Amino acid sequence: MTLEDFNDVVDAEETADDAAGDAGYTAPAGGNAADADAADTARAAGDPSATTESNGFERFAVEPSGEDVGIGTLSVSQGLRVSEDGDETTLRAFVTTGNRDSVRLGSYLLVPYPDDETLFCRIVGLEYAQEFHADDATEIHARRMMRQSSFEERDYKFMAALEPVAVLYEDDANGERELKRRMTDRVPKPGAVLQEATDSREIKTGLNIPEEGVFLGHLSVGGEKVRTAATPPTIDYRIADDYDSGDPLVFRHTLVAGGTGSGKTHASKNILRQYLRDERTYPMDDGRRVQPAVVQFDPQDEYAQMHDDNPELDGDFARQLDREDIAYGGIDDTIALIPTEAGTSYAGEGHRAERIGFTIPFSMTKRRPWLVAGSSLNENQYSALDTLLRRFFRQYGAKGTYERFLTFLDDPALKEELNESGRVHEATFDAVTRRVRAIPSGVFDQSATPITELDHQLVRPGGLTVIPTYHLSSSRVKELFVLAVATYLIDDKLSNTPDSDRIKETPVVLGMDEAHNFLADADTVQARKVISKFTEAAKQGRKERLGLFLITQDPQDIADSVFKQLNTKLVLNLGDDDAISSVNIPPNLQSKVPYMEKGQFVVYSPDNSEPVELIGLSTCLTRHGS
Ligand SMILES: Nc1ncnc2c1ncn2[C@@H]1O[C@H](COP(=O)(O)OP(=O)(O)OP(=O)(O)O)[C@@H](O)[C@H]1O
Ligand SMILES: [Mg+2]
């Protein structure tokens, strides 16, 4: 760099700043003075183009009006390098005084290359550095500060550390100019002028956000929506939902994690609502396009409300949603499938959805002995249970009820026979009988339609089925119902000889609130069977069009093998350190999680986009709450 470089720069003062701020630059002592003088002269002459602040620095407009405005320039003083190894990348920018208060960590910036390409980057560090070698830890300095309670911006350099995200370039494919992105493979020029990214197309391309897909929320930085010059000024974040680039991400599974009251259910309703819009269909193996069914397990009796419109959603907001192509309003085709347990009743006052009671036929245990195993059978006892159930169902067929099974186990002749043939030891037989007797009565074979005969109610293309469990008597009973229905659905989805063609041939989003209660890792037969079933379901999900949508406040409790299959993670406010680290998201997102306000969340979906921060819609798209 030589002094001549500055000659054709109009803004002499800015240049002087930059040059002086550049520690690597050794100009002759007189050089700076000359430039500064020139600036002073310009001002003294009443240069009308220079809007001068009281501190003598020029202020640059930073309104996101889409004009070409800069916030600073790339500096080479501490190195200017892009590297394959992110740790060795050094991109630092000098931020001019007028812009210092408005730049924020996480903001997106554009740095032009001399040709048409642009480097899209993110601010990852902000610092004041010394402009002059002076000691500000002195009596005089401190006293001065204490008296005037401000300081001279010009005494300091304000530096922003940048992380390159991608190179943006125009491509002339098919006669149309298309903005594309590629990995950062070139270094921008020293002195390049930084601009805030305020163009929706550039930001979406830079962050690799799909144009189309399922709406999750609006892009934000530090809790503020990113604004552009366009209408609407916000940037919609969507999750890819077609087969153009891989599989729809819904079938690669979603996690919604957040502490109590962080807005999980509100956000989940808004997302599930999008899956239930008429236009959304997925191709099946036979070539038909079919709308997905949403089946939602509902521990707090909140989701059947999705049947109804949100009375707080007004006309203005509705028009905004229309403009942004976001589906809203109650889902007429909602059924609440009510678990029937003797001695309990479902009040379900908060909604007007249709209700159908169902029961779990004991015959379901034939293929799923773990349903009656409770939590503490060892392998030996479990295989004894299996033997007993097989024998029982051979004898009674589909008429084999829980009551009958208890009578069956009471037969001393059976116990003796199995003991003598060496198939089930007496003590094992007794242990199993005790466990089977201990399962809550009033669950199996109640006076309601068996769930196995309700497959057309359970799964309906374009319909929402909610299974409330709040009214049930104990967590064990809730677990029994949830796991029985979920595995019935999963088994049919994965089977080559399904009991229900309806289930097999409909795309299904299986939503589970408080998922940690059902999918926790534990050293029991039941947990092992359940976890391996859900892991299998998750792995086969893409092929079978089965998407898991798990909602939890304790993500650390969800079994690892299931967790690993969850591709898209939405993390709302979480306070617990274990919970935060368990969601396994990039550190820059992780550090934001404890500060998220209601409805704010980060999205980590590596096959969809760069990691981002979002603000969800503040109004629920269907009814939520009283
Ligand atoms: N984005 C948002 N904007 C404004 N209010 C919101 C937002 N999200 C949620 N809320 C409100 O905050 C409250 C709690 O939200 P929600 O029920 O979704 O939380 P949750 O995480 O599911 O809580 P819980 O742990 O009790 O299940 C509700 O009254 C809801 O309407
Ligand atoms: Mg909730």
Q: What tens digit of pLDDT does each residue of 530-582 get?
A: 999 999 999 999 999 999 999 999 999 999 999 999 999 999 999 999 999 99
What is the position in ligand 1's atom list of the atom closest to the CA of 551?
22
Tokens 């003294």 map to which residue?
Answer: 44
pLDDT of residue 59: 54
What is the position in ligand 1's atom list of the atom closest to the CA of 617?
1
- CB-neighbour burial class of residue 618 (10 A; exposed 0-12, middle 13-18, buried 19+): exposed
Residue 302 and residue 620: Cα distance in Å, rounded?
A: 12
Question: What CATH class has 237-362+442-562+590-615?
Answer: alpha beta
Is residue 598 in contact with ligand 1, taking CB distance under 6 Å? yes
Is residue 102 in contact with ligand 1, taking CB distance under 6 Å? no
Is residue 220 in contact with ligand 1, taking CB distance under 6 Å? no
101, 62 contact by CB (below 8 A): no
Helix axes 426-438, 379-396, angle to 10 degrees: 80
Query: For residue 116, how far is its CA from the centre of ligand 1 (angstroms)?
Result: 45
Which residue numbers in the chain have pLDDT < 50? 1-53, 63-68
Which ligand has the shortest distance to the CA of 296?
2
Is residue 258 in contact with ligand 1, taking CB distance under 6 Å? yes
Residue 316 and residue 329: Cα distance in Å, rounded?
A: 14
Is residue 299 in contact with ligand 1, taking CB distance under 6 Å? no
pLDDT of residue 399: 87
Atom 12 of ligand 1, nearest CA residue: 263
Q: What is the pLDDT of residues 222-258, one digit of tens each?
A: 999 999 988 889 999 999 999 988 899 999 999 999 9
496, 490 contact by CB (below 8 A): no
Is residue 263 in contact with ligand 1, taking CB distance under 6 Å? yes
Residue 123 and residue 116: Cα distance in Å, rounded?
A: 22
Which ligand has the shortest distance to the CA of 574?
1
Is residue 626 in contact with ligand 1, taking CB distance under 6 Å? no
Is residue 264 in contact with ligand 1, taking CB distance under 6 Å? yes
CATH 3.40.50.300 in the chain is located at 237-362+442-562+590-615
* Helix (H), strand (E) at residue 225: strand 224-225
Atom 9 of ligand 1, nearest CA residue: 263
Is residue 468 in contact with ligand 1, taking CB distance under 6 Å? no
Quote the DSSP letter at residue 249: G
Please tell me the number of Cα atoms within 13 Å of 73 on its side-chain side.
16
Based on DSSP, count helices (H) and strands (E) in the chain, helices before strands. 17, 23
Is residue 618 in contact with ligand 1, taking CB distance under 6 Å? yes
Query: For residue 569, how far is its CA from the centre of ligand 2 (angstroms)?
Result: 17
Atom 4 of ligand 1, nearest CA residue: 618
- Most informative mutation of 266, 551, 593 for ligand 1 (most atoms within 8 A of CB): 266
Cβ-proximal residues to 526 (8 Å cutoff; 6+ apart), any chain:
370, 371, 373, 374, 375, 483
Cβ-proximal residues to 21 (8 Å cutoff; 6+ apart), any chain:
75, 77, 94, 131, 157
**Vertex 161, ends 156 and 164: CA angle to 5°?**
155
Is residue 260 in contact with ligand 1, taking CB distance under 6 Å? yes
What is the position in ligand 1's atom list of the atom closest to the CA of 572?
21
Query: For residue 411, how far is its CA from the centre of ligand 2 (angstroms)?
Result: 47
Is residue 223 in contact with ligand 1, taking CB distance under 6 Å? no
pLDDT of residue 57: 55
Query: For residue 306, how far is its CA from the centre of ligand 1 (angstroms)?
Result: 15
